[in-house]
A and B are shown apart, each in its own frame.
Chain A
């Protein structure tokens, strides 16, 4: 277990050993985002812009025009919300080679509360033409994404979380944009998730299995671009598709999957996430429980959607029936 923010900082330190164009621009949060690892290792290529996120985005766009590869360091909210117009006009529209390291994204921000919980970033960023939107599930995937994003030319939004995340992948992992990962097969339902929420979905699938419900898990780390065909294949194999995300149910992963299956004229979809509401400052377990994102709550919800607790007894029948393809 390593946090994504530490992985992000450490990977940039390593990449900058051989790539002299990498810069880290910070909005006075380096010791939170772990850009401080970079600052101490490569002080001349660490630019502290102070508490001035909007200007920071502009400065990054300018630097990118000279061939630098600027990575931004701030909390996701202060980038996707405070600096949205700058990201839109100065980065996405011209296709500037700026990499957005959006730390403390989602609900689990270390008790800071609704002001700091970015639960709209995926919706905002995926609606932005020209933006690549990535949400790693663990530290291995995170490191691979940092490498890939640094190498390609064009704007990338990297959704990073605060706390250590359980491992999903091993060292053989290779990142491919758009790729959808089927981490667990299941015939009754499929849980579709992104970021570290995928681990909680795997735990939910295990809980469901003990009750005789066979739920698959699909991980979508590349929100944009995305392999829509792979989403459809997974959705068509089951009666119930459940998206689960540390994000509003509007416009993020739930929106992505809803659009994909609706356009293809398929299926029954349930979206788990923040029900068009704000978060609050509270411990992680409290927040995950409150918003239906803990493994237990996800399992409850799937059981309910499949017809209540009586469902456990009839699971064999469901298995025999299979999907609706």
Chain B
């Protein structure tokens, strides 16, 4: 790899969201390549969502991760952990350099988020489908305790095939949890889908949910549904504002964020093979150029 410095620090407090997202994508690619492990397509599709949440939406104190009044965030699609870590590091939860320990053993940065290791994680996840129910419990607990914080849960669109997601969805609307917000990273791909010989529609595979089925299911469970372009910060932030407006008439809110798996890298976008592939040194270099990262590893 062409003399790129690994292990640089912050990019300064004033970086705009787009720069943070570019840098976050680079940290994902770089870390996955050097650890030889981790998922990559899903972290890249969700990157703009995390950057918006962690830098503009969530009421959090990275220096005091256990602050009782913090907004909660649960990454239910836990396999995308490296993307969340890349944003948490930029937000000051831990040094960017610590990303180098990812998956190496005795690390706080486990392959799937482990709340017993890393302060700032509100649930341990990795078995798909489980995070939303924990969010229901936290949102309900907040109401019972009279605490005003909000609970956000990010899910994958493939993940929404799990029955437990719908058990939790029903519970949330029954309980009238308007302090609960789900965000689905609708990147149109899951891990395998179907063999090529059978079907292909979006990218090179079949979508986890055909057409607008996912929206219709959430609607029929009486959730407020918001559609956004998951790569447009204005669109994301506007939806987050609505989600928090307290005017959902007792309904939980789900933001369906239309995204592209592998977003930002021409050779990854929409390709199911990049769900969890390790980029070669050449691909890392191409990623660096496409993301506009200079040779010192910082956004140009």
Query: B-contacting residues of A (Cβ < 8 Å)?
Result: 26, 28-32, 36, 39-40, 43, 46, 48, 50-52, 54-55, 77-78, 81-82, 110-116, 280-283, 286-287, 290
Chain B contact residues: helix, strand, loop or mixed: loop
Q: Nearest Cβ in chain B — how far from A84, in angstroms?
A: 13
Tell which of B78, B110, B159, B195 touches A51, judged by Cβ atoms closer than 8 Å. B159
CB–CB A51/B129 < 8 A: yes
A171 CB to closest chain B CB (Å) equals 31
Is there an interface contact between B197 and A40, defined as CB atoms closer than 8 Å?
A: yes
- Shortest C-beta distance, A111 to chain B (Å), equals 4
| Cross-chain contact B190 with A51 (CB below 8 angstroms) | yes
B32 nearest CB across to chain A (Å): 10
B34 smallest CB distance to A (angstroms):
12
B182-201 interface code vs A (CB 8 A; 1 in, 0 out): 00000000111111111000
Tell me whether A51 and B114 are in contact (CB under 8 A). no
Told that A40-B196, A82-B127, A111-B103 touch, could you supply 10 new A-B pairs with CB distance under 8 A?
Answer: A36-B192, A50-B158, A78-B127, A111-B35, A112-B112, A112-B126, A115-B112, A115-B126, A282-B104, A286-B104
Instruction: Assess the B195–A286 pair: CB atoms within 8 A.
Output: no
B259 within 8 A of A: no
Does B64 interact with chain A (Cβ within 8 Å)? Answer: no
Contact status A282-B103, CB under 8 Å: yes
Q: Are A51 and B158 interface neighbours, CB within 8 A?
A: yes
Report yes or no: A28 in contact with B192, Cβ–Cβ below 8 A: yes
Q: How large is the interface on B (under 10, 10 to 19, 20 to 34, 35 or more residues)?
A: 35 or more
CB pair A113–B110 under 8 Å, yes or no, is: yes
Beta-carbon contacts under 8 Å, B230-270 to A:
none
| Cβ-defined contact, A40 with B35, below 8 A | no
Q: Identify 15 residue pairs between A and B in the complex whose beta-carbon atoms are under 8 Å apart, listed by A's number.
A: A28-B191, A28-B193, A40-B195, A43-B195, A43-B198, A51-B190, A82-B127, A110-B37, A111-B35, A111-B37, A113-B111, A114-B114, A115-B125, A115-B127, A282-B105
Tell whether, in the assembled complex, residue A43 and residue B197 are in contact, meaning their CB atoms are under 8 Å apart: yes
Among B78, B126, B159, B196, chain A packs the most CB atoms within 10 A around the CB of: B126
Closest to A289 in B: B105
B192 touches A114 (CB 8 A): no
Bound Cα distance A48, B198 (Å): 11
User: Is B90 an interface residue, CB under 8 A from the partner?
Assistant: no
Please tell me if B52 contacts chain A, counting CB pairs below 8 Å.
Answer: no
Determine if B127 and A52 form an interchain contact, defined as CB atoms under 8 angstroms apart.
Answer: no
Q: Which single residue of chain B is at the shortest CB-CB distance from A49?
A: B161
Is the Cβ of A52 less than 8 Å from the Cβ of B194? no
The residues in B between 123 and 176 inclusive whose CB is less than 8 angstroms from any CB of A are 124-129, 158-159, 161-163
